[in-house]
Amino acid sequence: SQKIEQNSEALNIQEGKTATLTCNYTNYSPAYLQWYRQDPGRGPVFLLLIRENEKEKRKERLKVTFDTTLKQSLFHITASQPADSATYLCARENSGNTPLVFGKGTRLSVIA
Amino acid sequence: DTEVTQTPKHLVMGMTNKKSLKCEQHMGHRAMYWYKQKAKKPPELMFVYSYEKLSINESVPSRFSPECPNSSLLNLHLHALQPEDSALYLCASSQVTDYGYTFGSGTRLTVV
């Protein structure tokens, strides 16, 4: 079956360091991957979309990479802050009108 | 307007009640979605509307009945729910393909 996996359930990191979250996919080739942030009791917030022909995308302190050989996307937050603490969700969507399927998420805690 | 608005924010209902969840967006998005999210789990897709037509029903029980009265509104009608249906119900919208989703803040539903 087509799977999208975020293997780390939780990640603790010191303020100011770079947080790196991993998303792996198996048994298919997504046209693109998306990353969302979710705070407790709130809906997910869209952060970045990266297409299969893009190696890297950046937005302020955020960077996403897409490695089709490793079947993996990495999500980086540089100069992390306690306000970055949240659950980060990776989501896959094949080309065409197929809806998002989410990974289980990684709960990031940035410690001051 | 760049938001998806969901009402009510909280809902407690008995197993014999009939209630409705409402979702509204004015971004011109032609795809709208209902997701269900249990605690510490990722959002799970329930329904997709594309150009106001139901395009995907993820084998959701008939006690959940979606409706799309126009391109800006999405309803989810609830009837004879079970306690295990208690969850955060999220509405989202997007351009039809290749764009991030905009989620509402959700309706926290408790079935007693």
Per-residue pLDDT of chain B (112 residues; tens, 9 = 90+): 779 999 999 999 999 999 999 999 999 999 999 999 999 999 999 999 999 999 988 889 999 999 999 999 999 999 999 999 999 999 999 986 668 999 999 999 999 9
Full 3-state SS string of B10-28: EEEECCCCEEEEEEEECCC
Q: For residues B90 and B103, is the Cβ–Cβ distance under 8 A?
A: yes
Convert B88-101 to b/e letters by CB count within 10 Å (16 or more is b): bbbbbbbeeeebbb
pLDDT per position as a tens digit, A8-39 = 899 999 999 999 999 999 877 788 899 999 99
> Considering only CB atoms, which chain B residues are within 8 Å of A44?
43, 90, 101, 103
- Residue B30, both tokens: 């032609």
pLDDT per position as a tens digit, A31-84 = 889 999 999 999 999 999 998 889 899 999 999 999 989 999 999 999 999 999
Which residues are CB-contacts of A95 (< 8 A; sequence separation ≥ 6)? A31, A32, B97, B98
Largest CA distance in chain B: 41
Q: What one-letter code names the amino acid at A46?
A: F
The residue in chain B having the minimum alpha-carbon distance to the alpha carbon of residue A103 is B42
The beta-carbon neighbor of B50 closest among A32, A49, A97 is A97
Report the helix count and the strand count for chain B, using DSSP H and E: 0, 11
> Considering only CB atoms, which chain A residues are within 8 Å of B42?
89, 102-105
- Residue A70, both tokens: 């490793």
> Considering only CB atoms, which chain B residues are within 8 Å of A43?
4, 90, 92, 103-106
The beta-carbon neighbor of B42 closest among A31, A51, A102 is A102
Q: Is A43 within 8 Å of B105 when comparing Cβ atoms? A: yes
Q: Is the pLDDT of residue A97 over 80?
A: no
Q: Strand B10-13 relative to strand B107-111: parallel, antiparallel, unpaired?
A: parallel
Interface of A with B in 30-59 (CB under 8 A): 31-32, 34, 36, 41-47, 49, 51
Give the model's pLDDT for residue A94: 65
Task: Measure B26 CA to nearest chain A CA, in Å.
Answer: 17
The beta-carbon neighbor of B42 closest among A46, A89, A95 is A89
Alpha-carbon gap, residue B98 to A62, rounded angstroms:
20
